[in-house]
């Protein structure tokens, strides 16, 4: 395992992050404490120090497990948690991004994790109700109180993130240094605006859903023989998806690697971005397979083939602006150090 500076910060995190949404069986699927411990120890023994959880994961079991697992060596691990979400049947109107929920959630996370601080706090999802200033100021207060070291954002529109970081810069508040988003060969929509925003602000990108709930492992090419969270309708894959999966299988076979490993490395090797994939597994064996991505890289030819198979229509303004001769005349191809 190698280490990276997280965005524009001095925080050093492992090049892979261990996602713990599978820690706990409260939601009817996931891993027992014993299996979670095996995954945690496997990750740590490979040099992993970056752990991702949330106040709502498995109704709190995830944070409780993580707290037990990091307790003997708390300072070594970089622990990230999130606030915003609640139980679907909650009757409390004050969930979401409000300062009230923020403060309550952080105190809950600290208690479950048995720690006095979070290394990284994410806003989990944008609620379209809370003023951006309330969020940024509230999160900065947590940093000043010493309860949180760094801030990040997840599953939020790029224009909200831009406003938040602008406010932070103007007022001297703590900015978002990481951007957690869904990203995979089957879902490249974030390339239209969110990835360019992350690049512009120097934010690390922390992709989840890399294997699309197991679809990109190839197990759905044949009859599904193990439990899955996907509904039958979701297994009726589109023509584009099947094209991507078959190309992925061919590339994986040529590389002598698993389809899952190939899909993860395609994300890891995205150019001009700091990509730190969040691994999600329900067993030690699954995580072991995923960690083997550290041993190799895709060739440029294989990346090009996967790019072509999974390409999306970027639409306006990308297609309108890129290389527009009315902007650059005939010199576009002669300009070095372009930002895109």
Q: What DSSP letter does each residue of 165-223 carry, written as one string?
A: HHHHHHHTPPPEEEEEEE-BTTB-GGGTTHHHHHHHHT-EEEEE-TTGGGGGGTGGGS-
- What CATH number has the domain bearing residue 207? 3.20.20.100
CA gyration radius for the chain? 20
Q: How many domains does the chain have?
A: 1
Q: Please report whether residue 65 resides in a domain.
A: yes
pLDDT band at 227 (very low <50, low <70, confident <90, very high): very low
pLDDT tens per residue, range 125-137: 999 999 999 999 9
Can you give the residue range of the structural domain that contains 194?
3-334
Q: Read off φ and ψ for residue 337, nearest 5 degrees.
A: 60, 35
Q: 340: how many CB neighbours lie within 10 A of its CB?
A: 9
Q: According to the model, what pLDDT value does residue 158 have? A: 98
- Look up 57 and say whether it is catalytic: yes
Q: Please report whether residue 268 resides in a domain.
A: yes
* Catalytic position from the list 57, 83, 179, 183: 57
H or E element at residue 17: strand 17-19
Among residues 110, 112, 96, the alpha carbon closest in space to that of 142 is found at 110
Q: According to the model, what pLDDT value does residue 235 have? A: 55
**pLDDT surpassing 60 at residue 278:** yes
Residue 324 Cα to chain centre, angstroms: 33
**Mean pLDDT of the 115-124 span:** 98
**pLDDT surpassing 50 at residue 224:** no
Q: Please report whether residue 339 resides in a domain.
A: no
Q: Read off φ and ψ for residue 81, nearest 5 degrees.
A: -130, 175
Q: How far apart are CA 1 and CA 3, in angstroms?
A: 7
**pLDDT surpassing 60 at residue 316:** yes
Q: How far apart are CA 309 and CA 241, in angstroms?
A: 9
Residue with tokens 């969020």: 135
Among residues 124, 200, 121, the alpha carbon closest in space to that of 166 is found at 200
Burial of residue 211 (CB within 10 Å: 0-12, 13-18, 19+) is: buried
* C-beta separation of 162 from 132 below 8 A: no
Q: Which residues contact 60 (CB under 8 A, 6 or more apart)?
A: 26, 108, 112
Percent of the chain with pLDDT over 90: 82
pLDDT tens per residue, range 39-97: 999 999 999 999 999 999 999 999 999 999 999 999 999 999 999 998 888 889 989 99
Per residue in 241-256, is it b (16+ CB within 10 Å) or e — as a string?
Answer: beebbebbebbbeebe
Q: How far apart are CA 24 and CA 8, in angstroms?
A: 33
Q: According to the model, what pLDDT value does residue 236 have? A: 65
**pLDDT surpassing 70 at residue 115:** yes
**Mean pLDDT of the 255-274 span:** 96
**Mean pLDDT of the 221-226 span:** 53
Q: Please report whether residue 201 resides in a domain.
A: yes
Q: Read off φ and ψ for residue 4, nearest 5 degrees.
A: -130, 150
Q: Please report whether residue 184 resides in a domain.
A: yes
Vertex 25 angle, CA 22 and 26, to 5°: 110
Pairing of strands 204-208, 176-182: parallel
Q: Please report whether residue 340 resides in a domain.
A: no
Q: Please report whether residue 30 resides in a domain.
A: yes
* C-beta separation of 179 from 161 below 8 A: yes
Q: How far apart are CA 131 and CA 315, in angstroms?
A: 30
Q: Please report whether residue 193 resides in a domain.
A: yes
Q: How far apart are CA 328 and CA 108, in angstroms?
A: 54
| Average pLDDT along the chain | 93
Q: According to the model, what pLDDT value does residue 229 have? A: 53
**pLDDT surpassing 90 at residue 219:** no
pLDDT band at 225 (very low <50, low <70, confident <90, very high): very low
Q: How much of the chain is helix, strand and coil, in % rounded to 5?
A: 45, 15, 40
Q: According to the model, what pLDDT value does residue 222 have? A: 62
The pTM for the full model equals 0.92
């Amino acid at each position: 395992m190698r280490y990276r500076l997280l965005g524009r910060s001095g925080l050093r995190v492992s090049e892979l992050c261990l996602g713990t949404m599978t820690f706990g069986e409260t939601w009817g699927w996931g891993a027992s404490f014993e299996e979670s411990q095996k995954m945690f120890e496997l990750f740590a023994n490979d040099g992993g120090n970056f752990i991702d959880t949330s106040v709502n994961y498995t109704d709190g079991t995830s944070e409780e497990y993580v707290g037990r697992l990091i307790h003997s060596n708390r300072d070594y691990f970089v622990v990230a948690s999130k606030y915003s979400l609640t139980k679907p049947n909650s009757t409390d109107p004050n969930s979401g991004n409000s300062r009230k929920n923020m403060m309550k959630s952080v105190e809950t996370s600290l208690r479950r994790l048995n720690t006095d601080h979070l290394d990284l706090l994410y806003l989990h999802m944008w609620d379209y109700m809370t003023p951006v200033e309330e969020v940024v100021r509230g999160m900065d207060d947590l940093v000043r109180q010493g309860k949180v070291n760094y801030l990040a954002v997840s599953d939020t529109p790029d224009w909200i993130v831009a406003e938040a970081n602008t406010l932070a810069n103007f007022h001297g508040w703590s900015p978002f240094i990481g951007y957690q988003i869904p990203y995979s060969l089957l879902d490249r929509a974030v390339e239209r605006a969110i990835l360019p925003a992350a690049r512009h602000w120097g934010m690390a990108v922390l992709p989840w859903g890399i294997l699309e709930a197991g679809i990109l492992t190839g197990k759905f090419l044949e009859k599904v023989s193990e439990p899955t969270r996907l509904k039958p309708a979701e297994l009726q894959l589109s023509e584009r998806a099947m094209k991507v999966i078959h190309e992925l299988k061919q590339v994986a076979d040529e590389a002598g690697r698993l389809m899952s490993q190939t899909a993860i490395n395609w994300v890891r090797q995205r150019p001009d971005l700091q990509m730190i994939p969040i691994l999600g597994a329900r067993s030690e064996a699954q995580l072991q397979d995923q960690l083997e991505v550290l041993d190799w890289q895709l060739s440029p030819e294989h990346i090009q083939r996967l790019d072509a198979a999974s390409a999306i229509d970027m639409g306006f303004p990308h297609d309108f602006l890129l290389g527009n001769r009315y902007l650059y005349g005939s010199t576009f191809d002669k300009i070095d150090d372009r930002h895109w």
